A and B are shown apart, each in its own frame.
Chain A
Amino acid sequence: MRTGLFIVLCAAMVATVAFVSAANLSNEDMSTSSAPLKSGLYLNQTQEYTRIDLDDVKSVIKAEIPGVNMETLSGGLIDDRVYGKLWQFTFSTEADKSILMGVDAESGDIMFFFGRTGKIAPDYTKISLEQAKQIALDYIKERDGDRDLTLVTAQYIDPHAEGLPGEYLVRYSRVIGEVRCLSDGITVTIHPATGCVMSYYKSWTMPEDQVPDDVGMKVSESEAAVIVADYMAENGAQGVRILSSEMQWVDLNYPASLKDSHDIRLAWHVRFTDDYYRSHEVTFPAAVWVDAETGEVLKCLYSLG
C-alpha cells in the first residue's frame, strides 16, 4: 500500500517537473545555441516553412561579409514584428567582433546589418561627403535595384565611443506618388577613411495597395501651420515658431509588417519650436503631423525627458 502510494507520488512529481520545464523552457525553440531559450523567441526551423533555409542564409552572409567566422554564428529564425519571418544572426569576422544581420526568410534579401567597423585609419585619408553619398547610392542600387527613393540626410557622425571610427550616414526615404514615406527607406553608413559600407538598414513596410490613391488634399501648408499653432496654444504652449513643413505618408500603425493592417494617411509634418524648447536650449525641434485631408492632429513630438 505504502509502496504503491510512493510510486504514484513519484510519478506525479516527475510529471509536474516535466510540465514546469515545458512551460518555462521552450521545446519549440531551435537556434544555433545550446542555451535554454524561452518559448516563442525563436521559431522551430523544422516546422516553419520558409523559402530561404539555414544553408541559404549562410550563403547570403558569406557573400556579403568577407571573412565570416561561421563557428561564431548565433541566432535563428524569428517572427519579427516589422519584417515578419526573419533569419537573424550575430557573428564575428577577422576585423569585427560582432555583426548583427537580418535576412528576409522569404526573399533572401538582407534587411539590415550593423557592427561592421572596419579598420581605423588616420583622418588624412578621409573621403569626402560627396564620395560617401555616391558609395551609398551605388550600394543601394546594386542591392535593391532602381527604387523610388529621395535623399533625406547625408552627414558625418562623430565616433560613438573611444576606439571606434566615425561614419558617414546617408539616409534615403521611399517615395510613393512623389510623396516621401515617413517610415520606409534605406539607411547606409560609410567608413570615413576606407569607404567600406559599415551598416545597412531597410524598412519597407507600407503595402502600396493600402496607400490611399484618392486622397483629397484639403489642408494647405499654411493652414497646417495654423492648426499646429492653435493646437499647441490650446495645450499651453507659447511663442510657437514654425520651422518647416513637409508632406509625408504616415502609417499610424507603424511598426507593423507588410502582412498586418495599416492606417496610412497623407499628412503635413510640421516642425516647430516654442518658448519652452528655447528656454531649455533643446537641440531638436518639436513636431506635429496634421492629416492633409481632414486637418486632424495625428501625432505629436513635444514633451521632454
Chain B
Amino acid sequence: METLKASLPWLFALVLVSGAIITSASALNDCTVDRTRVAQGFAPPDPTPYVNSKLTETATSINSIHWVNGVADYQYSNTDQDFINHINGLYSSNNIVLTHTHGGSSGGSSFMTFLDGYSDLYDSDVNNWLDSGGYFIFAGACKSAQYSDLGNSFLNKGFDGYLGFEGDVSSVTCSCFYSAFFERGRYLDVTVSNAATYALQTTLNEWDDYGGTDSKEILGSQYLCLAPSDW
C-alpha cells in the first residue's frame, strides 16, 4: 500500500508523458490535402459546402489507410512554392498528396496555380524545390496532365503515381471523383486504375456526366495500390 501511494505521482506523470507522446505521434502527418480551389472562390452559384465536404471525406479516407500516420489539411497554398513546402514538411518520405486547385497549360507544359494566382507550378519548379520521396499525388486541376512533364517531374522525385486530367474539369465532378477514388482506394490492394474506374461511375451516378473527369490520366504504374497489403 505504501509503495502504491508513493508511486501515484509517478504514475500521474507517466500518464501525462504518454498522452504527450500519443498526441505528438498523431501530429506526424505524412499525407496532405490542399483546399486551394475553395479559397480561390467559384463562379456562382457557390459549390463551396459540397466541395469542402468531399475534401473532408477524402482526408478521412486517406487517414484510414493502414500505413498513414496523419493528414495535414491545408486551407490553401498561397504560392506554388508554399505547396511544395507543404509536401517537403511532411513526416516521412512516403506521402499521399491531394490538391484541388486551378490548372492549365502553356507552351506544351502543364501547370497548377495557387492562391496568389500567378506563381504557376511547372515541372522545373518541382525539380528545383521538391525533396526526394513521395508515393502518390492526385493533381485535381484542369489540364494537370494535358502534358506529362508536370506529372513526370513528381515521378522523377520519387512519387510512384500521379493522377491528373488532360482537359478541363468541373469543380463538383472533380471533388466527387476524388472522394470516390480515395473511398475505394483506401482498401487493401485496390489499384489506382480500378479505384479511378469506380470513381468515374460514381461521378456519373451523381451528376449524369463525367464533367471532364473521364480525361483522367494516370502516370506511373496503373497497378499501384494506395494500401498494399505487403507495405
| A and B are partners in one complex rather than unrelated chains | yes
Q: Contacting chain B: which of A33-41, A123-131, A214-222?
A: A33-41
Interface residues on A, range: 35 or more
Question: Residues of B contacting A276 with CB < 8 Å?
Answer: 43
CB closest chain-B residue, reference A23: B22
Decide if B10 touches A284 in the complex (CB within 8 Å): no
Asked if B189 is an interface residue, CB under 8 A from chain A, the answer is: yes
Decide if B211 touches A284 in the complex (CB within 8 Å): yes
Decide if B189 touches A304 in the complex (CB within 8 Å): no
For the A-B complex, the count of residue pairs with Cβ-Cβ distances under 8 Å equals 178
Kindly provide the distance from the CB of A54 to the nearest chain B CB, expressed in whole angstroms: 15
A-facing mask of B1-22, CB < 8 A → 1, else 0? 0111011001100110010001
A78 and B188 alpha carbons, distance in the complex (Å): 11
Kindly provide the distance from the CB of B52 to the nearest chain A CB, expressed in whole angstroms: 13
> Given contacts A35-B231, A114-B198, are A100 and B191 in contact (CB under 8 A)?
yes
Question: Residues of B contacting A4 with CB < 8 Å?
Answer: 3, 7
Question: Residues of B contacting A34 with CB < 8 Å?
Answer: 229
Near B by CB (< 8 A), chain A positions 221-260 give 231, 235-237, 248, 254-255
Asked if A194 is an interface residue, CB under 8 A from chain B, the answer is: no
Decide if B14 touches A280 in the complex (CB within 8 Å): no
A254 and B201 alpha carbons, distance in the complex (Å): 13
Decide if A100 touches B170 in the complex (CB within 8 Å): no
Which one of B3, B171, B202, B230 contacts A1 once the chains associate, using CB atoms below 8 Å?
A: B3
Near B by CB (< 8 A), chain A positions 74-124 give 74-76, 78, 81, 88, 90, 97-100, 112, 114-115
Near A by CB (< 8 A), chain B positions 31-55 give 37, 40, 42-45, 47
> Given contacts A283-B167, A287-B207, A303-B170, are A16 and B187 in contact (CB under 8 A)?
no
